[in-house]
Homo-oligomer: A and B are copies of this chain.
Amino acid sequence: MTDQSHLTLQRTRNPWGQGEKLRTEILVASARLLSELGGEEALTIRGVARAVGIAPASIYQHFADKAALVVGLLEYDYQRLAEEMHIARDSLPVPDAVGRLRAQMRAYCRFAIENPGHYRLMLNNRQAAPKPDGAERGPLAEIANLVVLAFEACGAAGHRLRVPASKAAIMVFVGAHGRVALWHSSPDETDAQDIVPFVDELISLVFADSVD
């Protein structure tokens, strides 16, 4: 078993040319399965294989085990959420700091409402979530820090907060999460339409000056 990798520089990796394609296809099918059936318990190797149209054993060509599949999904989901919130932050139609903050939280709520299965997966597996880029804290804490920065920007823009920016961010972030979680646990009891206005009011509450 001598290592000869230094001899053949360019090893063949994808004889069929569709190695990575099927991997993402598996992830997409898992995501759809999670969206349609909701709970994490709906995410089974056999179910994913059935959705993709391959044999259960074939999954193991692309993922070491089920935990690796979940990690792949988490990575995919967190990147998606972070992108939507970043886009919301940098979007042109809201040049002011408070508007960006509102857009950011609105994007967060929209993601949680439109992807309940994913959102719950992300929050129930925070330990397994892959760290963004060698950072100490997890991806959700990274996103929460985005909100802290947005609040600090509001302070820098001259707005007055009733509590320090870091605490204000936690209040709003945690409030949004709680409101979404309560809707998830009983969607018929309340209307998803009320979530975004609620968070908007929560944001207004932490500001001492009027920010409509």
Contacts and interface: CB of A to CB of B under 8 A. Distances in A.
Interface of A: 123-124, 126-127, 137-138, 140-141, 162-163, 167, 170-171, 173-179, 181-182, 185-186, 189, 198, 201-202, 205-206
A198 B170 contact: yes
What's the dominant secondary structure at chain A's contact region?
helix
Nearest to A137: B189
Contact of A141 (B127, B138, B141, B189): B189
Given A179-B178, A182-B177, A189-B141, A163 B201 contact: yes
A123 B177 CA distance: 14
A183 to B, nearest CB: 10
Given A167-B201, A205-B206, A206-B205, A181 B123 contact: yes
A174 B185 contact: no
A100 to B, nearest CB: 22
A189 B206 CA distance: 25
A124 B186 CA distance: 9
A189 B127 CA distance: 10
Nearest to A41: B41
B181 A177 contact: yes
A10 B44 CA distance: 52
Contact of A176 (B124, B178, B189, B206): B178
A33 B185 CA distance: 23
A69 to B, nearest CB: 18
